[in-house]
């Protein structure tokens, strides 16, 4: 099992390129199931979750090829409209194929999602919405089965709570449904907007993506398309924090500054210098100990839950006490125990972490519990005194492309060991 060995104390200097967004690539790959014509996707990151999704598409019957850096998906033959446990047990995004398969083939059988144990992800919201579009849903033996032999029909959907995956899944179902579908309290994340842009290129009629109300006019069929995935805003934010926590000077290239605005505002308040370094780049500098600044995670455009752990790592060495409040996932503080092994002073009270900044952290042997927790431990290790060994970095490999190589290129003392 791979580990990272990190020796702290090195400041990062240079350019850190951002890969395509994993959280945008996964629904884009699922959307290719909606047409019998080829879909070509650029900017797909080569991470474990993507490999799992590609394996799932192949199991369903699609042909998936990597040509000149682009992923080509040909889903003309969908022989097995199912997502078996053996294929998707390590990935949360398996439910993304539920809507496309039900819409195109009239049936879908999908294993309940696996992946990071950071809290409940209410797939019941997806299922209730699909039922309102005319699907019959059954849950048995760890699987969800959706049947719509006569096709789906448009409807009025109101999500009780904002759900990104639920919005994406329903969006893909609605594009082939008869009539109009209105989705209220829809997720506004950039990844949702990116998916809608791809679907519209494929011939869908979607309005309002990126707002809380999305209108979809169903069409009879979709055609092939070519699309470039947006940059990964979570990787961009992680790299900005890496520059700040090491008192470095890094330029994060190939990003969209608007997508990480909630983070950069907080970083500026804490004492980092953030400036635009071109249309698609941000420069982060920090030459002092940060000030403690509170954050509360929220749906986009608020502070991303996927950056909470990394931000907390920075706050462990801040001057003063910061309050980190998690409102999205109820079990997303598992990294705090490992940070404490490195000398962090953190107390958990319900959904709030109280972080008293320390002068320094020290290297230790730690274990990654989930994808973003892995990133927080890497950041903490780069500023800690001595050597840190991070176990179970397969979590990191689910969502970050060659992160150890990128960080080493700008000065980090990091290597992958077995």
Question: Count of CB atoms within 10 A of residue 145's CB?
Answer: 18
Residue 255 annotated to the active site: no
Dihedrals phi, psi of 209, to nearest 5 degrees: -60, 135
pLDDT band at 241 (very low <50, low <70, confident <90, very high): very high
User: What is the mean predicted confidence (pLDDT) over 381-394?
Assistant: 96
**Which residues on adjacent β-strands are paired with residue 158?**
184
CA angle 56, 400, 3 (to 5 degrees): 100
CA angle 335, 339, 344 (to 5 degrees): 135
Q: What is the pLDDT of residues 191-233, one digit of tens each?
A: 999 999 999 999 999 999 999 999 999 999 999 999 999 999 9
The closest of 300, 343, 314 to 239, measured between CA atoms, is 314
Which helix (H) or strand (E) covers residue 170, if one does? helix 164-174
Same fold, 3-19+231-417 and 22-228: yes
Structure tokens at 163: 């759900």
pLDDT band at 89 (very low <50, low <70, confident <90, very high): confident
CA angle 118, 123, 124 (to 5 degrees): 130
**Domain spans of the chain?**
3-19+231-417, 22-228
pLDDT at 87: 84
Mean pLDDT, the chain, as a whole number? 94
pLDDT at 120: 46
User: What is the mean predicted confidence (pLDDT) over 337-344?
Assistant: 97
Instruction: Kindly report the pTM of this predicted structure.
Output: 0.95
Choose the CATH number for 22-228 among 3.65.10.10, 3.10.20.600, 3.40.50.720, 3.30.1640.10.
Answer: 3.65.10.10
Structure tokens at 128: 């209730």
CA distance 335 to 375: 10
Over the range 14-51, which residues count as b (16 or more CB within 10 Å of their CB) and which as e? ebbbbbbbbbbbbbbbbbbbbbebbbbbebbbebbbbe
CA distance 261 to 265: 6
Choose the CATH number for 3-19+231-417 among 3.30.230.10, 3.50.50.60, 3.40.50.620, 3.65.10.10.
Answer: 3.65.10.10
CA distance 224 to 202: 6
CA distance 50 to 370: 17
CA distance 358 to 345: 7
pLDDT at 117: 44
User: What is the mean predicted confidence (pLDDT) over 323-349?
Assistant: 92
- Give the whole-number percent of the chain exceeding pLDDT 90: 86
Residue whose pair of structure tokens reads 């005194």 in the numeric block = 385
Classify strands 249-253 and 13-17 as parallel, antiparallel or unpaired: parallel
Higher confidence at residue 369 or residue 271? 271
3-state secondary structure at position 81: coil
pLDDT band at 118 (very low <50, low <70, confident <90, very high): very low
The closest of 114, 104, 93, 135 to 33, measured between CA atoms, is 104
pLDDT band at 371 (very low <50, low <70, confident <90, very high): confident
3-state secondary structure at position 395: helix
Q: What is the pLDDT of residues 282-319, one digit of tens each?
A: 999 999 999 999 999 999 999 999 999 999 999 999 99
User: What is the mean predicted confidence (pLDDT) over 167-177?
Assistant: 97
User: What is the mean predicted confidence (pLDDT) over 133-140?
Assistant: 92
Of these residues, 116, 255, 286, 287, which one is catalytic? 116
Give yes or no for a contact between 291 and 318, defined as CB atoms under 8 angstroms apart.
Answer: yes
**Which residues on adjacent β-strands are paired with residue 322?**
355
Q: Which segment of 33-42, 93-102, 247-256, 279-288 scores lowest on mean pLDDT?
A: 93-102
CA distance 159 to 244: 38
Question: Count of CB atoms within 10 A of residue 193's CB?
Answer: 19
Residues with Cβ within 8 Å of residue 393, at least 6 apart in sequence: 2, 3, 4, 368, 374, 416
The closest of 206, 165, 190, 185 to 300, measured between CA atoms, is 190
- SS3 per-residue string spanning 304-363: CHHHHHHHHHHHCCCECEEEEECCCCCCCCCHHHHHHHCCCEEEEECCEEEEECCCCCEC
Q: Which segment of 138-152, 212-226, 339-353 scores lowest on mean pLDDT?
A: 138-152
The closest of 168, 143, 149, 128 to 82, measured between CA atoms, is 143
The closest of 362, 382, 223, 249 to 314, measured between CA atoms, is 382
pLDDT band at 322 (very low <50, low <70, confident <90, very high): very high
């Amino acid at each position: 099992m791979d580990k990272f060995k990190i020796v702290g104390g090195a400041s990062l200097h240079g350019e850190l390129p951002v890969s395509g967004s994993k959280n945008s690539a996964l629904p884009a790959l699922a959307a290719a199931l909606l047409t019998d014509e080829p879909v070509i996707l650029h900017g797909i990151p080569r991470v474990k979750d993507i490999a799992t999704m590609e394996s799932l598409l192949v199991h369903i019957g699609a042909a998936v090829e990597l040509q000149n850096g682009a992923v080509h998906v040909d889903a003309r033959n969908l022989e097995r409209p199912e997502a078996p446990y053996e294929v998707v047990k390590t990935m949360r995004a398996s439910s993304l194929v539920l809507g496309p398969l039900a819409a195109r083939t009239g049936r879908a059988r999908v294993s309940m999602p696996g992946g990071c144990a950071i809290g409940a992800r209410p797939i019941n919201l997806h299922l209730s919405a699909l039922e309102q579009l005319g699907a019959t849903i059954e849950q048995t033996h760890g699987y969800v089965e959706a049947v719509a032999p006569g096709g789906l029909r448009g409807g009025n959907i109101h999500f009780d709570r904002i759900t990104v995956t639920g919005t994406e899944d329903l969006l893909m179902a609605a594009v082939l449904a008869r009539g109009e579908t209105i989705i209220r309290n829809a997720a506004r994340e950039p990844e949702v907007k990116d998916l809608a842009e791809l679907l519209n290129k494929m011939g869908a009629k979607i309005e309002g993506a990126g707002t809380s109300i999305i209108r979809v006019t169903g069409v009879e069929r979709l055609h092939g398309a070519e699309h470039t995935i947006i940059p990964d805003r979570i990787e961009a934010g992680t790299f900005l924090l890496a520059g700040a926590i090491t008192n470095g000077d890094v330029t994060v290239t190939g990003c969209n500054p608007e997508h990480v605005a909630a983070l950069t505002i907080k970083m500026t308040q804490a004492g980092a210098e953030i400036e635009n370094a071109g249309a698609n780049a941000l420069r982060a500098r920090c030459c002092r100990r940060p000030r403690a600044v509170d954050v509360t995670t929220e749906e986009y455009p608020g502070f991303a839950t996927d950056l909470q752990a990394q931000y907390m790592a920075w706050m462990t060495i801040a001057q003063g006490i910061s309050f980190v409040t998690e409102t999205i996932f109820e079990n997303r503080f598992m990294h705090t125990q490992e940070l404490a092994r490195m000398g962090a002073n953190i107390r958990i009270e319900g959904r709030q972490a109280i972080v008293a900044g320390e002068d320094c952290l020290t290297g230790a042997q730690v274990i990654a519990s989930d994808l973003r927790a892995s990133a927080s431990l890497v950041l903490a290790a780069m500023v800690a005194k001595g050597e840190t060994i991070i176990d179970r970095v397969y979590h990191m490999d689910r969502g970050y492309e060659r992160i150890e190589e990128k960080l080493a290129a700008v000065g980090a003392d990091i290597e992958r060991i077995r």
